[in-house]
Amino acid sequence: MSIVAPSILSADFGNLERELHTLRESGADYVHFDVMDGLFVPNISFGLPVLERVRQLTDLVLDVHLMIDRPLRYVERFCKAGADIVTVHVEADTPENVRAALEAVRNCGKVPAVCLKPATEAAAALPYLDLCGLVLVMTVEPGFGGQSFMADMMPKVTQLRRAITERKPGCRLEVDGGVNLETAPVCTAAGADVLVAGSAYFHAADRAAFVSSLHAL
């Protein structure tokens, strides 16, 4: 059974409490929370004060995807604000600092995770696998919701699934970007077990049916 993580980047921010309530009622597992700083990606979303409020409004797993430059500066604060999983991009700092960020997340008792942009090879995640509870493969260029799924990322997902099976069983493998009813089965067939869906989830006529379809994969 796949884990379903709606990205609240596509939620109605004027009704966030209601959206989070619906999210739980529809059977979703994680709340995917996209943080963008306008530097690492060409967009700005939301950050710590919003996460603190979301933490008060839901008991679902908070899956925080940091699309920010030099995340080491902020990971502890995201943990304290209520994140359960904190994902940093391998491209966002030096290898030493990426590792230090993951260690800081682990020292807070939270789940560390690394993310790869489309141009980054699977091998870039391997030095961190020992520390990670989740690896995230971007299936669009990070920065915006509503983009088209990049099917050519599937070999990377399969490579990482193999590495995880060999070296870190239990580590989750997440995909993010353009995931919908048509592309989700492609992702799970390649080896993904956590599916982020932003626009497809929030625009679904029946959100519970959408989640059930993905759970069934």
Is 84 one of the annotated active-site residues of the chain? Answer: no
Residues 47-86 that bind ligand DX5 (CB under 6 A): 65
Distance in angstroms (rounded) separating the CA atoms of residues 202 and 3: 17
Distance in angstroms (rounded) separating the CA atoms of residues 170 and 191: 13
| 123-152 footprint of ligand DX5 as x/- string (CB under 6 A) | -----------------x-xxxxxx-----
Is 34 one of the annotated active-site residues of the chain? Answer: yes
- Options 2, 3, 7, 68; binder of ligand DX5; rule CB under 6 A: 7
- Options 3, 90, 196, 211; binder of ligand DX5; rule CB under 6 A: 196
Question: Does 34 engage in binding with Zn ion (CB under 5 A)?
Answer: yes
Distance in angstroms (rounded) separating the CA atoms of residues 98 and 114: 9
> Helix, strand or coil for residue 140?
coil
| 31-50 footprint of ligand DX5 as x/- string (CB under 6 A) | -x-x----------------
CA-wise closest residue to 81 among 48, 111, 107: 48
Minimum distance, C-beta of residue 145 to Zn ion, in the bound complex (Å): 9
Distance in angstroms (rounded) separating the CA atoms of residues 23 and 15: 12
Return the one option of Zn ion, ligand DX5, none that residue 145 interacts with (CB less than 5 to 8 A, by type). Answer: ligand DX5
Question: Does 10 engage in binding with ligand DX5 (CB under 6 A)?
Answer: yes
Q: Are 187 and 170 in contact (CB under 8 A)?
A: no
| 50-79 footprint of Zn ion as x/- string (CB under 5 A) | ---------------x--------------
Residue indicated by tokens 């950050």? 47
Helices 48-57/16-25 angle, 10° precision:
50
Q: Catalytic amino acids?
A: 34, 176
